[in-house]
């Protein structure tokens, strides 16, 4: 027996052994799935009437204008047949090659087999032509409401993305090639990854995006030195240690969103907004919200305002001895900071000297990519969920956000983990993304019904904390920072709401990039620029057309704005006081609490 025959035999033995392991793991997979408690149908798809209406509209269109639909179908058929015939002709000529391919470039199909191999190339071409046919059919639907059409468009795109041949082992050449190269070990590793992810989420499939073992909160992320100087049931107040001999007398408090953890602003030293602000001479406080359990089911937006925002402000005034402070609100916390400012105006409370908003929506008249999830059928499902669970569980929100970018956040990671058998990367941003927080049931209901659906804050007013809160009550100096490609809080929507405040001193900035990268954009990186324009009466499009582009981060521009509202320099403050002794080191305890499954 030759050496090659021996090696081939050994490889075959290893392949058979690994395939046997796959069979054993399949049984374990079945056990895990048996424990799965599926989500209610309302959270998975719209009410059937939406699809019935779409089918009726398509059928009606075919009856009224059959030529148009047949024309689209014949175009698809002819291109499909031509691709097949071209491939056959090449094979008959003895050429094992793909036919001419005029489909657009798509990074999902970057492996050379998709371009070179006639079988896989034909699969790719047919998939992309089918996808285009579906998009055209949906775009030409008539007789539907704008929202129903947007929902059909969204769910049809989900089907298109899901049915990509890259998502199936038998039609993914890269995964098949890896299986052969590793004698099946990649399939074993992938199945183990799949089982681990399902087991970690009670049978619900959430692809792990980052290597959790690579990060330790307070160890190599969230490491800015400081102390916990106050705690109540909703938050811990962190005061960070100064790195300058003097500081501005007016302190700064940052309210992060309670959908995620605060340490997006302190991932590592090089991109920590918290460390940078401390280095500019600000006394920085950050609210670290609790990850709610079912005992907080009845906590509402009014509690977040009274026990969260107003309580933090009061505590910082006591600690600093200052009558006024500057505040920042990020995302949903920026929305709630607007509500707080309206309430403070009603009560004659001038404790805030200025307010800065990061990617903050206040006018929900246009719901953008969230339109499919902000209709009654879906929110009825949320209401039933929180009535049963007490909270809106984190993985439901995480899943929703992921499907907005399904190829990047679901299918591509799933292919790498489950088909290729790769371990998730040690990526701090993705680790943070997976370290989510739930929402108290009452708060989730109020936010979705009163703000997102009814848009009361910019309309008739929101009844809360014994007052009618309106955006027109906000009149202190403000700065709003938005992000050009943000799909969560679109900058044009942020701008529309910001225009409705009555502040006489308003600064509006659009940073390049998206919801996170546009905010976490340190000057040292010299990566993303930003736009400014002082003419805030213009439409959003006019504002951008006339805006001035600036190279580099917006952080120094904000520093120049904020420093003018921060008073004189005084000796640096160490965290805590005699009346507010340190309760522990930053980042505290609340940030380490994991979300309920």
Backbone angles phi and psi of 378, in degrees to 5? -70, -45
Over its C-alpha atoms, the chain yields an Rg (Å, rounded) of 27
- Token couple for 13: 């033995």
- Sequence-ordered list of residues with C-beta below 8 angstroms from that of 101, at least 6 positions apart, any chain: 115, 121, 124, 125
CA angle 252, 224, 360 (to 5 degrees): 45
Give, as one character, the DSSP assignment of residue 426. -
- Percentage helix, strand, coil for the chain under 3-state DSSP, each rounded to 5: 55, 10, 35
- Sequence-ordered list of residues with C-beta below 8 angstroms from that of 536, at least 6 positions apart, any chain: 498, 499, 506, 508, 543
- Token couple for 460: 């008739």
**Among residues 311, 344, 241, 329, which one has the least CA distance to residue 283?**
241
Beta-strand relationship, 478-483 and 352-358: parallel
Q: What count of Cα atoms within 13 Å lies in the side-chain half-sphere of residue 403?
A: 21
CB 409 within 8 A of CB 515: no
CB 509 within 8 A of CB 477: no
CB 540 within 8 A of CB 495: yes
Beta-strand relationship, 462-464 and 548-550: unpaired
Is the alpha carbon torsion for 394, 397, 398, 399 positive or negative? positive
**Among residues 359, 565, 380, which one has the least CA distance to residue 482?**
359
How many C-beta atoms lie closer than 10 Å to residue 321's C-beta?
A: 11
Distance between start and end Cα atoms, the chain? 57
Q: Which residue has the tokens 């546009």?
A: 518
Q: DSSP letters along 265-303, please?
A: GGSSGGG-HHHHHHHTT--EEEEEE----GGGTT--HHH
Q: What residues act catalytically?
A: 331
Cα separation of 219 and 572, whole Å?
26
């Amino acid at each position: 027996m030759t050496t090659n025959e021996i090696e081939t035999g050994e490889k075959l033995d290893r392949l058979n052994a690994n395939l046997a392991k796959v069979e054993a793991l399949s049984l374990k997979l079945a056990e895990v799935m048996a424990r799965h408690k599926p989500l209610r149908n309302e959270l998975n798809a719209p009410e059937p009437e939406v699809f019935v209406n779409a089918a009726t509209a398509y059928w009606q269109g075919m009856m009224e204008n059959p030529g148009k639909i047949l024309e689209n179908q014949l175009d698809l058929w002819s291109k499909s047949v031509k691709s097949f015939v071209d491939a056959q002709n090449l094979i008959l000529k003895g050429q094992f090659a793909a036919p001419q391919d005029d489909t657009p470039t798509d990074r999902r199909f970057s492996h050379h087999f998709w371009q070179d191999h006639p079988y896989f190339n034909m699969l790719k071409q047919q998939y992309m032509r089918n996808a285009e046919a579906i998009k055209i059919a949906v775009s030409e639907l008539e007789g539907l409401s704008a929202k129903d059409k947007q929902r059909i468009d969204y769910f049809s795109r989900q089907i298109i993305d899901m049915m990509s041949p890259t998502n199936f082992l038998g039609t993914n050449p890269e995964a098949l090639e890896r299986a052969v190269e590793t004698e099946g070990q990649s399939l074993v590793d992938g199945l183990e990854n799949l089982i681990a992810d399902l087991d970690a989420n009670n049978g619900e499939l959430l692809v792990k995006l980052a290597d959790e073992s690579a990060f330790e909160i307070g160890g190599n992320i969230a490491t800015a030195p400081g102390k916990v100087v106050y705690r109540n049931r909703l938050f811990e107040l962190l005061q960070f240690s100064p790195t300058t001999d003097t500081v501005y007398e007016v302190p700064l408090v940052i309210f992060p969103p309670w959908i995620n953890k605060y340490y997006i602003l302190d991932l590592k030293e090089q991109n920590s907004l918290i460390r940078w602000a401390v280095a500019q001479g600000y006394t920085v406080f950050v609210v670290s919200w609790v990850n709610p359990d079912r005992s907080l089911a009845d906590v509402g937006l009014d509690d977040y305002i009274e026990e969260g925002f107003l309580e933090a402000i009061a505590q910082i005034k006591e600690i600093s001895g200052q009558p006024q402070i500057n505040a920042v609100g990020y995302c949903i916390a920026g929305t709630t900071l607007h509500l707080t400012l309206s309430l403070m105006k009603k009560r004659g409370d001038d404790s805030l000297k200025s307010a800065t908003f990061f990617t903050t929506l206040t006018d929900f008249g246009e719901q953008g990519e969230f339109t499919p999830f902000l209709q009654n059928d879906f929110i009825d499902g949320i209401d039933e969920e929180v009535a049963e669970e007490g909270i809106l569980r984190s993985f439901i929100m995480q899943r929703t956000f992921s499907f907005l970018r399904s190829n990047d956040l679901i299918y591509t990671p799933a292919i790498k983990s489950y088909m290729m058998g790769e371990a998730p990367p040690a990526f701090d941003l993705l680790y943070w993304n997976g370290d989510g927080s739930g929402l108290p049931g009452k708060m989730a209901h109020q936010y979705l019904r009163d703000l997102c659906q009814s848009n009361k804050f910019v309309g008739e007013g929101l009844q809360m904390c014994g007052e009618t809160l309106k955006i027109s009550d906000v009149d202190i100096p403000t700065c709003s920072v938005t992000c050009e490609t943000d799909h969560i809080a679109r900058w044009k929507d942020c701008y529309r709401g910001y225009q409705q405040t009555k502040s006489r001193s308003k600064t509006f900035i659009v940073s390049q990039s998206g919801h996170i990268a546009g905010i976490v954009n340190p000057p040292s990186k010299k990566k993303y620029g930003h736009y400014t324009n002082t003419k805030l009466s213009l439409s959003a499009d006019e504002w951008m057309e006339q805006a001035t582009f600036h190279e580099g981060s917006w952080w120094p521009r904000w520093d120049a704005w904020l420093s003018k509202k921060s008073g004189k320099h005084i000796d640096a403050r160490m965290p805590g006081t005699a009346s507010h002794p340190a309760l522990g080191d930053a980042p505290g305890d609340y940030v380490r609490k994991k979300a309920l499954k």
